[in-house]
Chains A and B, each alone.
Chain A
Amino acid sequence: MDKNTQKARLKSIKKFNAVKYKEYNKKQRRKRIPESEYMTTMADDHNILEFDNLRTYFYTDAGTVKAVDGVSFQIPRGATIGVVGESGCGKSVTSLTTMGLLAGPTGQVAGGSIRYNQKSQNRAVDLTKLPRKEFEKIRGNEISMIFQEPMTALNPVFTIGDQLCECISLHMPELKKDEVEARALEVLELVGIKREGILNNYPHELSGGMRQRVVIAMALCCDPQLIIADEPTTALDVTIQAQILDLLRNLKDKINASIMLITHDLGVVAEMADYVVVMYAGRVVEQGTAEDIFHHPAHPYTIGLMKSKPMLGEKIDRLYSIPGNVPNPINLPEHCYFKNRCESCVEACEGLYPELVSLSKTHKVSCYLCGKKGGEN
């Protein structure tokens, strides 16, 4: 590309972004948003969370990054949903959008909605439109998040006790001080930390595994309805990984919460999830029950992922790897994003991005190959 077109393009990006930032700031400054604006109704009352065509864009200097581009799936109450995909496919951004933690004005929700079934108030709200004050009541209380970096997720200058009790007394103001501490010890015990004086320890005095447990305890301390776990075990040793996963599974049964488990580790998903959502370049390419995805994968990308996972007892020379690279997230093509790496691509793939088609009641896939089969199945 020659210099002038590049310059012109950069200029138009700059202009476009300025408009977007202005809009965002205007929205942020608004006060007293009427309830009607963020009230909504659930498509299915059994679901705790419904993503409906969610689009989260980042307006960067190099252009608009469509990190999440039209994602739709549901999280039923009490279920564990695994969201898988390569790094940069929009998993983490989906979870941050849900928590309302996008770093504005660069990152913004460009469209769609996240419907949350707020049982405590007997209503359903759209998290993308929720004002900050309302959000603060939900965050950490009804929806909580476990972050991926245990080393940096805790504030180094406050004790574990400070950080835990702060969360508890914030959402349960009726508790007295000693009751708050008792509650903190209770959740710590729940995650398997039973140690004298742990509340007075600083984060740097604990090991990585312990810190991750504290982070999990922090997410659990108010009996959340939904736990978003963003790669909770990636930074940990394998042995501790297994412990933490066990812990999450047991906890889910104990407090009957739903879990949205974000990971790129198919093994973890196979072990934990009831439903699986496969994402690629900001879009859902396939979703279904764990059974559907692991035993009857339909999308070539999912098939590729499965093939690239080492299997015990299988005799192969080398592991399969999907050819090519993830496309540049700026200015994605019109056609299927996976087309250029796809081994089984056909004429139809040159057309527009394929719609999501249902293969069965639970199993959905967006691929031209399966569209034809969809009718037969």
Chain B
Amino acid sequence: MRKYIIKRILISILVLLGVSIILYTVARSVPGDYVTNITAGNQNITPEMEAQMREQYGLDKGLVEGYVDWLVDALHGDFGTSFVYQRPVAQVIKEYMAPTLALSGIALTLEVILAIPFGIWAARKQYSMTDYTIVAIALMGISLPSFFFASILRIVFSIKLGWLPISGMLTARMNYQGFDLFLDYARHFVLPIVVFVITGVGSMLRYVRTNMLEVLSADYVRTARAKGLPEHKVIYKHAFRNTLIPIVTLIGGMIPALFSGAVITEGIFSLEGLGNVALKAVYNGDIPYLMGFNMFIAVLTLLGTLVADVLYAVVDPRVRY
């Protein structure tokens, strides 16, 4: 087991290096006067920062040397200084992390809670009306442009009914404390989470259904039935344990998509999270922040796949370490 995990970690480090090379190359693939170009109209940027950025990306050095310098800095947690916030990128990320993690964490949990039972239900009733309805709704969710769905929800729940706030994270000028503060946050998060879950749940649901169909036609399910096991035990014990295996890997690989979703949702609802900051960074040419943000996601993704791989070994006894 330990050997297996160490091997996975080594591979992850390798992949992370690859990711960083790509990211670095993207940042480096700029013309010589690029820094001046993007910093021209930006009063936030002092000449020192400009010089620092040149140094950070080694624009004055060769490609390899520059990359090594950047990597050493990055390993020390130094991703440079954000132009917009005038602070180290790592600090900015830390500060705006909470809403993003809360949003995507809650959404992911809800997606799992919805996708598994409905996916199994649809698979059990393949080709029935129930199956068609569940699949159609799931596909509808996948195909919904999130901004469109968000607009409709806002018109109905914020403008027409006035039940929920239209955007932002806190009601302005209210100075809530304690539990009221939490409630206020919660009210602002309802619509973003609904949008996130509805547009994201479909792909997982479809995956659960396909896998369940595959498992249901397996010989061992027939054996379980032949034993005289009641149907719910056949499904939820014998079949489900086997569908769990691919689902675990799926969840591990969902993290990049989750963050892409977070950027969009935060953008639509102006939640002050990492995604929204990233969007602002685009308009302000804040390359250091964008680099740091991408590296942050890459690390999380690798951690996610690593955990998934280990869990995989736990649920599937056939995996040899």
> B-contacting residues of A (Cβ < 8 Å)?
25, 99, 101, 132, 135-141, 144-145, 147, 149, 152-159, 166-167, 170-171, 202, 204, 215, 218
Contacts and interface: CB of A to CB of B under 8 A. Distances in A.
B318 A147 contact: no
Given A139-B225, A170-B228, 6 more contacts: A132-B231, A152-B218, A156-B220, A171-B228, A218-B223, A218-B227
A147 B230 CA distance: 19
A95 B309 CA distance: 41
A166 B229 contact: yes
A170 B229 CA distance: 7
A155 B242 contact: yes
Top 8 closest A-B pairs, CB basis? A140-B228, A139-B228, A140-B227, A152-B219, A155-B220, A202-B317, A167-B227, A136-B228
Nearest to B227: A140
B222 A204 contact: no
A218 B224 CA distance: 10
B62 to A, nearest CB: 53
B219 A204 contact: no
B226 interface: yes
Contacts of A25: 128
B219 A139 contact: no
Contacts, number: 74
B318 to A, nearest CB: 5
Nearest to B222: A101
A6 B250 CA distance: 44
Nearest to B238: A155
Interface in B175-233: 218-220, 222-231
Given A147-B226, A170-B228, A218-B227, A157 B316 contact: yes
B241 interface: yes
Nearest to B229: A170
B226 A154 contact: no
Contacts of B155: none
A144 B225 CA distance: 11
B144 to A, nearest CB: 32
B11 interface: no
B228 A157 contact: no
B315 interface: yes
Given A132-B231, A170-B228, A158 B241 contact: yes
Contacts of B241: 155, 157-158
Contacts of B245: 157
A264 B278 CA distance: 69
B23 to A, nearest CB: 39
A138 B227 contact: no
Contacts of B128: 25
A218 B231 CA distance: 18
B227 A170 contact: yes
A101 B225 contact: yes
Interface in B103-133: 128
Contacts of A149: 219
Contacts of B228: 135-141, 167, 170-171
Range of interface residues on chain B?
Answer: 20 to 34
A101 B231 CA distance: 12
Nearest to B318: A204
5 contacts: A139-B228, A147-B223, A153-B220, A153-B222, A166-B227
A101 B317 contact: no
Contacts of A145: 226
A153 B221 CA distance: 8
A154 B220 contact: yes
Contacts of A141: 228
Contact of B222 (A136, A144, A147, A167): A147
A68 B16 CA distance: 60
Given A138-B228, A141-B228, A154 B223 contact: yes
Nearest to A202: B317
Nearest to B219: A152
A135 B315 CA distance: 32
Nearest to A105: B127
A156 B226 contact: no
Nearest to A21: B127
Contacts of A138: 228
B218 A157 contact: no
Given A101-B222, A147-B222, A149-B219, A156 B227 contact: no
Contact of B226 (A101, A152, A159, A171): A101
Contacts of B224: 155
A141 B227 CA distance: 7
Nearest to B125: A25
A132 B228 CA distance: 10
Contacts of A132: 231
B220 A152 contact: yes
A139 B224 CA distance: 10
Contacts of A139: 225-228
A264 to B, nearest CB: 19
Contacts of B315: 157
A99 B225 CA distance: 9
Nearest to A141: B228
Contacts of B225: 101, 139
A5 to B, nearest CB: 28
Central interface residue in B218, B227, B230, B231, by most chain A CB within 10 Å: B227
B227 A153 contact: no
Central interface residue in B128, B219, B318, by most chain A CB within 10 Å: B219
Given A136-B229, A137-B228, A202-B317, A156 B223 contact: no
Contacts of A171: 228
Contacts of A157: 241-242, 245, 315-317
A50 B20 CA distance: 72
Contacts of B317: 156-157, 159, 202, 204
A145 to B, nearest CB: 5
A86 B220 CA distance: 25
Contact of A156 (B230, B231, B242): B242
A90 B315 CA distance: 38
Contact of A136 (B219, B223, B230, B238): B230
A137 B227 CA distance: 9
Interface string B233-246: 00000100110010
A54 to B, nearest CB: 19
Contacts of B238: 155, 158
